[in-house]
Amino acid sequence: MYRPDHATHTASTAHHDDRVQFLVVADETSLAQLEAELALLPLCARGRVFVEVQDESQIGPLAAPIRMTVTWLPRSRRSGRPGTAERCGRGEAALRAVSAWTAEMLCDGPGQTRAIVLGSWPVVTEIREHLSETVGMDTASIVEPARR
């Protein structure tokens, strides 16, 4: 069936959606806390989960709402800062993933994004700074459960 409203929708068209989307970021120091936070989300929650770990041995099953996409980011398989021969440092993989995701998925409209940021100091600090200062998210929408 032809629907003219879909024919005019393009990638540059603002997507107005009144549902909250979630961005959850963690590292290997907060896996138990991550599981607890994901269990508290509504079953219909949608969004993205990024988990930075040292290597593949730390990847395991993770129960998340069905509309949440989980991406594991092993540092041992990633390079450090572009143009250097450095290894990926703590927080770098998560920050790159969050930067790319926010550039593509953060939309204007009545819906909002809530971020849950867990983990070690470098991860929490870098992600919070990116979300609040670079992206312009309201700090009230960025939750750091360990710091409550």
Two structure tokens written together for 102: 């926010």
47 occurs within a structural domain? yes
61 occurs within a structural domain? yes
Is the pLDDT score of 113 beyond 70?
yes
pLDDT digits (tens, 9 = 90+) for 117-144: 999 988 899 999 999 999 999 899 999 8
The domain of 112 spans 17-147
Mean pLDDT computed over 110-118: 85
Where residue 65 sits, what CATH number does that domain have? 3.40.50.80
Q: How high is the pLDDT of residue 10? A: 46
The β-bridge relationship of strands 113-117 and 21-27 is parallel
Q: How high is the pLDDT of residue 2? A: 42
43 occurs within a structural domain? yes
Token look-up 């200062």 returns 133
2 occurs within a structural domain? no
pLDDT digits (tens, 9 = 90+) for 79-109: 666 666 678 778 888 998 999 999 988 765 5
When mean pLDDT is compared across 8-22, 65-79, 82-96, 106-120, the lowest value belongs to 8-22
Token look-up 């700090």 returns 139
pLDDT digits (tens, 9 = 90+) for 34-51: 999 999 999 999 999 999
Query: Could you tell me which residues come within 8 angstroms of residue 79 by beta carbon, excluding any fewer than 6 positions away?
Result: 86, 87, 88
Nearest-angstrom CA–CA distance, 148 and 141: 14
29 occurs within a structural domain? yes
* Residue (of 9, 39, 24, 58) closest to 131 by Cα position: 24
1 occurs within a structural domain? no
